[in-house]
Structure 1
Amino acid sequence: MKPLFVLLVSTAWTLTGAQHYYQGLMDYLENRLLAIEDGMQLWHQQSHRYHAEMLDFGKLTAEVVEGLKNEHGALLRDLEGAGVRVDRAEREMDFVEARTSPRACAARADKVVEQEAWGLEESRGEEEEEEAWEELTSRVSDCVEILSGIRSVKILKRAGGPKGMWTRDPRSSTVYVFNGTSGDAIYQFNSVRDFSRSAGVSGSRTVRLPSEWSGPGGAVYNGYLYYVTQEGDADVRVVKYDLLSGSVADVAMFPAESRAGVYGLNPETVADLAADDEGLWLLFAPSDDGPNIGLAKMDAATLDIERIWDTRCPRENAEAAFVVCGTVYVVYNTRLASRSRVQCVFDVNDVVVSEEAPLLYFPRRYGAHASLKYNPEERQLYGWDDGYQIIYRLIMKRKLLA
């Protein structure tokens, strides 16, 4: 009986301990749930506050964005108005420069030609007449025209790299494109219109040359391509290439030992060939450290050098040049591309000098000209400006004599 009593008492104590254990566990779980509920309530309140703050921030951002849009529109309108005023100012400057440009110096014989009259003063003796006759016969160029201004500008397209050259044969409508600063191929188009309609610089015909051209200083004249080549350490040469037969017609050595670029802003142009009414010309650097641009008159048939001049036009800050009626017009710019301008003029007949020639500015475009090629038949310049192909129509006038 006693053992049974002990067993009942032990069981009762065990059940009482288990009850206390489970009651404690339930109290703990209840306290944890209450804490989680409090945390969730706090998170809900904070989430609601954050949501309200985000709505306020969204409204503020929308107001700021709307204000920026309005300011951007006003700024855009101001810039457009400034662009219109700048264009108007440039046109007015061009007009004033064309109207007030100084008259070029010339001899009396050309003035007589311009007036289409011959009236020598009676006081002039026979010796003076003979001297005037000798002066006329000694001239390199018989052309009596000088550049007066730019009539119009046409941006044809943008194709190719930042530097290159394009030109048209004065004796035909064929257009030739030199893309880049060197290569062994050029691209041929039947006309300016075909070139403008093409997708890029690749033309209807690719002309592969027997040697690589160096620098965008080539010229096309009377069915022949004239270009400068320099391979490795070899001497610089001028090549005459027959475009009809596809063969080299002649090769001439460079008239100077210098390999420096003729233009300070375009050192890739080792030499620049130009064609005008008087024939073929070559612009070059006489020496590596020579400050001025040299000019040579070449025989287009034999590539012989007929005469060489020092133009006294600095190479520094020069970007390109072209020849019109035996007069060299050197175009200058700045390292940070600005407005191109003709700042130095050299006449092979010493009739026109820089101080008396018109100061000519090109309309502001994109960067700086990599090349400028004159077409005497059209009286136009074919320019390459930062990958844009541009046509400048020129205004010419007769050289006036003092």
Structure 2
Amino acid sequence: METEYGTSYPYGSWGMDPKPAPGKEGWYWLVALTRSNIYTNYIRTYSSHSALIVSKNAGDVTITASNPTTNSLIGPGSVMYDNALYYNCYNYPKVCRFDMTTKSIHSVELPGAGYNDKFPYCHLTSCYTYTDIDLSTDESGLWVVYASEANFGNVVLSRLNASITLNITQTWNTSLFKKAISNTFMACGVLYATRYVDKDIEEIFYALDTTTGMERGNLSIRFRKVSGIVQYLNYNPRDHLLYVYNDAYILTYQAVFG
């Protein structure tokens, strides 16, 4: 389905909190990049799936007073986890944590991370703007995907401590060139990467097992899209769904692991 914004804002993110606050187990959140398809300064929430579908009972939570400014949200790589939104801080190689209750913001720098379109996701000859820093969730918590010059533009994966004392707890350097992939997500401690096949098909082709450190590039798990570009892809361990933002359409896919 399209978001309530129609096709006006093709870049964004959405989902359910894998670790929701009490009373918000059925809530959904939506972030549409309303300024140049790059920035935003608020989060829209819905009290139920039916409210999301009919675009009613929505509430907006403001992150920053203006857009863009320090601590505004940049890019479509945000996630909600434990009643806080995690996202790429405007104009910095940092992850920001916005507490939905206290409205406080904390951040952590990603050492050497490319940002502001240095290492975005891409396909063929086209890149997806400001997708340098991408947050993910899975059964073990919160992760961030980025790339660095030190790792030759290849994907770097870091596990984050999802709390007010936001910090990096572990990092993996991969051999996967970030500009050669269209998106990533985490599930069960495994990093998966996708690539663009054509305007109708996306393919999960790569996996990194963080337990063993082994990389595989021979997966071939294909899924259909409703439009050409997948701007956002994230797995929710609570309902085992992949949440997708696909050119202003919001979709879910059931994830089944053998």
Short-chain TM bin: 0.7 to 0.9
More helix by share: 1
Deviation at 1:158, TM superposition (A): 4.4
Show the counterpart of 1:219. 79
Match status 1:298 vs 2:160: yes
CA distance 1:292–1:365, shift in 2 (3 Å): same
Matches within 5 A, 1:357-396: 358-396=219-257
Partners of 1:256 and 1:351 lie apart in 2 by: 21
| Identical aligned residues as a percent | 23
Deviation at 1:193, TM superposition (A): 2.1
Match status 1:261 vs 2:109: no
Deviation at 1:191, TM superposition (A): 2.1
Match status 1:337 vs 2:199: yes
Show the counterpart of 2:32. 179
Maintained 8 Å contact 1:262/1:283: no
Counterpart of 2:58 (choices 204, 214, 218) is 204
Gaps in structure 1 of 5+ consecutive residues: 1-155, 398-402
Count of aligned positions: 233
Partners of 1:396 and 1:257 lie apart in 2 by: 31
**CA displacement 1:253-294 (0-9 Å, x = unmatched):** 223242223412323112011111111111001129933111
Deviation at 1:365, TM superposition (A): 2.6
**CA displacement 1:42-93 (0-9 Å, x = unmatched):** xxxxxxxxxxxxxxxxxxxxxxxxxxxxxxxxxxxxxxxxxxxxxxxxxxxx
Runs of 4+ residues deviating >3 angstroms: 156-160
RMSD across aligned positions (CA) = 2.2
Partners of 1:257 and 1:163 lie apart in 2 by: 22
Gaps in structure 2 of 5+ consecutive residues: 65-70
Partners of 1:246 and 1:220 lie apart in 2 by: 14
Deviation at 1:349, TM superposition (A): 1.3
Normalising by the residue count of structure 1, what TM-score does the alignment of the two structures yield? 0.54
Show the counterpart of 1:157. 2
- Secondary structure (helix, strand or coil) at the match of 1:378 reads coil
Matches within 5 A, 1:2-401: 156-160=1-5, 161-170=9-18, 171=20, 172-180=25-33, 181-198=38-55, 204-210=58-64, 211-231=71-91, 235-248=92-105, 250-259=106-115, 260-264=118-122, 265-287=127-149, 290-301=152-163, 302-333=165-196, 337-350=199-212, 353-355=215-217, 358-397=219-258
Deviation at 1:395, TM superposition (A): 0.9
Partners of 1:352 and 1:359 lie apart in 2 by: 17
Matched AA of 1:190: S
Deviation at 1:317, TM superposition (A): 3.5
Matched AA of 2:108: A
* More contact order relative to length (CA 8 Å, sep ≥ 6): 1
Partners of 2:187 and 2:82 lie apart in 1 by: 17
More strand by share: 2
Partners of 1:374 and 1:187 lie apart in 2 by: 20
Maintained 8 Å contact 1:270/1:284: yes
Deviation at 1:382, TM superposition (A): 0.8
Partners of 2:241 and 2:30 lie apart in 1 by: 16
CA distance 1:157–1:360, shift in 2 (3 Å): same
Deviation at 1:225, TM superposition (A): 1.2
Partners of 2:224 and 2:47 lie apart in 1 by: 29
Partners of 1:325 and 1:296 lie apart in 2 by: 15
Matched AA of 2:30: V
Matched AA of 1:391: T
Partners of 1:236 and 1:355 lie apart in 2 by: 28
- Secondary structure (helix, strand or coil) at the match of 1:238 reads strand
Matched AA of 2:175: R
Matched AA of 1:219: V
Matched AA of 2:243: Y
Maintained 8 Å contact 2:14/2:79: no
CA distance 1:288–1:365, shift in 2 (3 Å): farther
CA distance 1:289–1:323, shift in 2 (3 Å): closer
Normalising by the residue count of structure 2, what TM-score does the alignment of the two structures yield? 0.82
